[in-house]
Structures are given as structure tokens and as C-alpha cells.
Structure 1
Amino acid sequence: METSASRPVVARVPLVLAVAVLIVAVDQATKFWAESALPGRAPVPVLGEFLQLRLLYNPGAAFSIGAGATWIFTIITAVAVVVLIWFAVKPAPRVQTLALSLLLGGAVTHLLDRLFREPGFARGHVVDFIDYNGWFVGNVADIALFCGAVLLLIPALFGGDQAKKADDEN
């Protein structure tokens, strides 16, 4: 019986690529929509004030931390993409591979923003448009990054050995 951890890299690459490319495509498409539909508008309520659509350009990291160091975030994101690719194709349970694929898709799309959006190469601002009750404003890539991080943490917090054993039996 072949386990998910013993499958060759070639068997994992299609899943990693499919998930990452899907995240990049959906994120970039929704950012394109937000940039065409939301400029100059008041926040658009989706679930009252709890969830609104509001266009922002974020030069920093989460919560606009480090807004003056955009080029540093570009380098960090590029390194993260390389590391995530390396880990995503290594033998791992399917849940971990999926989690790393979500993280990879989110990181790649943020890297694309940093590289190719205004104000210039490696200094681009990330397009954010989903306002969560005024706590923070994010995008689809942020949702993928959050979900990927949670998927990595759940097995570690709640019996990773049993989750791995169940995955190996499939």
C-alpha cells in the first residue's frame, strides 16, 4: 500500500499547482473587479457593517505594518514562495500538502502585487477590499493564507498522528 507520504513528487505537483493557480486566478480577478467597481465609493455593505467592500492599497504587511518597507516585504515574500514550493512537493499528508498549496497561492499573488502594481517594481501595493468590521481589510489571498495556516495548525493541536494515520490509510 502506497501512502501519501511515500508518493513521488510527481503525484503531488498537480494538486499543489491546481490549488495555487486557482488562488492566484480568483484573487487577481477579484482585485481587478474591486479596482473597477469600488474606487471613490463609500463602503458597500455585504453583511451590514460586519462585512463590507472597501478598496484600499496596502504598502505594508498585515494591518499595514511596515508601510515604508515595501521592498523588504517583496524579498520576504519571494523567499517564502521558494520555501513553500520546496515544502509543498516534499512527502507529506494530503492535508499538509493542501495547506502548503493554499499558502503558496496566497504568497504568489501577494508577490505579484508587490512586483507589478503601483507605485513600481518591487514596491507595489497589495489590493485589499474585504473589510471585516473595521478590524482589517483583506483579499482572497489573505483568506487562502489564513485557511492554509489553520490547516497546518489543526493536526498539530488536535492529534496530528491520528490525522496522518487516517490519511496514510487512504
Structure 2
Amino acid sequence: MAEAERIIGTPDIPDAEGTEGDEAADRADDRGEETASTRGKRKVAVLFVVAVFAYLLDLISKMIVVAKLEHHEPIELIGDWLQLSAIRNAGAAFGIGEAFTIIFTCIAASVIVVITRLARKLYSLPWAIALGLMLGGALGNLTDRIFRAPGTFQGAVVDFIAPAHFAVFNLADSAIVCGGILVVILSFKGLDPDGTVHKD
């Protein structure tokens, strides 16, 4: 009787082990997916934290400049080499294309949409920082375009950082340029936003 039970029961043992193995593999896959999802959410959080920080820094600096520096003499930080001088810029970064304010407003809005959509596939910390800087800078200048004179979507951006022999710019411009440079460096290194590395 015992021998019969052993023979009948034997085939069930591998199946049981196989089932347990499959369940363990499924649990491992689930943990892997959860880990990847969590990692992606953290990178997206970094992107938006950097963007908010850059945006608020730009917004506060412009409020101070408009209140304390506009219509006043420039403030010399390093002699004639670096000054704070408030101007209103209707063009793009560094005063380019003042006749196309609405176009630059649409471009800034498009950049924001593209970065926000790209964030869904973001798993790289350096890319999160780069895109966060660009997003915060674009939002900073877009806020000026929408809310400042002479009108909605035609507003002039507040610029105030004036190096010698160079265009006047603001912290939003700086954030966009720094983010863009970082994107170029990451692209040359073959690092994609999803965290993968490719070699051409």
C-alpha cells in the first residue's frame, strides 16, 4: 500500500516543485517591475524638484529686480566686467528676435510639453537634472511672456545679468543653457533618458 502511494504520488512532486518555481519566478519578475517603476518615479520626482527650484529662483530674482533695480543705475558686481542691469527683452534668450515674441512663446510652451511627455520614460538621474533645468527655465520665461506687459503671450522677459561685451540674460536663460549643455554631454557619452547606454 505504501509502495502504491509512493508510485502514485511521485509524479506530483516535480509538478509541485515546478509550480513553486514558477511562482517564485513570477514574484521575482513582479519585484523587478516594481523596482523599475519605483526607480522611474524617483527620477521623475528629481526632474520636477529641479524644475520647481529653477523656476522659483528665477521668479523671485525677477521680482526683486523689478522692485529694486528697474529704472535705477546698474549695480557693479565686478567692476565693468559684471553688472546687474534690468531690461525688458521681447525676443528670445540674449535678446535675439524681438519681432517674434509670440513664436518664441509657442516654442517655449512646446518645449515644456515635450519634456513632460519624455518624463514618462525617464530612468536616468543626469537626464532628470538636465531636463529639470530646461523645464524650470522654460517655465520661468513663459511666465513673463504670459503675464508681463505689453500683453498676454507678448510679454517682455526681465533680464538683468549683464557681463561685459555680452548680451543681458536671466537665471531662466542660464538654466536652459546649462540643461542643454548637459544634454549634449550625455548624448555624446551615449546615455539615453531611459538609462541605457548605446555606442555608435
TM-score, structure 2 length as denominator? Answer: 0.73
- In 1: Cα distance, 2:141 partner to 2:120 partner: 21
| 3-state DSSP of counterpart to 2:138 | helix
- In 2: Cα distance, 1:43 partner to 1:89 partner: 44
Counterpart for residue 116 of structure 1 = 147
- In 2: Cα distance, 1:137 partner to 1:151 partner: 22
Contact 1:56–1:128 at 8 Å: present in 2 too? Answer: yes
Length, aligned pairs only: 162
Contact 2:76–2:83 at 8 Å: present in 1 too? Answer: yes
- Name stretches of at least 5 consecutive residues in structure 1 with no aligned partner: none
Contact 2:145–2:154 at 8 Å: present in 1 too? Answer: yes
Looking at both structures, which has the greater relative contact order when contacts are Cα pairs under 8 Å and sequence separation is at least 6? 1
Counterpart for residue 148 of structure 1 = 179
Contact 1:74–1:122 at 8 Å: present in 2 too? Answer: yes
2:190 to 160, 163, 168: 160
Give how far 1:141 is off.
Answer: 0.7
Counterpart for residue 107 of structure 1 = 138
| 3-state DSSP of counterpart to 2:46 | helix
Counterpart for residue 107 of structure 2 = 76
Cα-Cα RMSD: 2.3
1:25 to 47, 56, 62: 56
Q: Which runs of 4+ in 1 moved over 6 A?
A: none
2:69 to 9, 24, 38: 38
Contact 2:43–2:123 at 8 Å: present in 1 too? Answer: no
| 3-state DSSP of counterpart to 2:161 | strand
| 3-state DSSP of counterpart to 2:168 | strand
Contact 1:88–1:101 at 8 Å: present in 2 too? Answer: no
Give how far 1:92 is off.
Answer: 3.7
**Percent identity of paired positions between Structure 1 and Structure 2:** 37
- Partner AA of 1:52 in structure 2: Q
2:171 aligned with 1:132: no
Larger radius of gyration: 2
Give how far 1:17 is off.
Answer: 1.4
- Name stretches of at least 5 consecutive residues in structure 2 with no aligned partner: 1-30
- Partner AA of 2:141 in structure 1: H
- In 2: Cα distance, 1:70 partner to 1:59 partner: 6
More helix by share: 2
TM-score, structure 1 length as denominator? Answer: 0.85
- In 1: Cα distance, 2:120 partner to 2:140 partner: 19
- Partner AA of 2:144 in structure 1: D
Give how far 1:7 is off.
Answer: 4.1
Contact 1:16–1:89 at 8 Å: present in 2 too? Answer: no
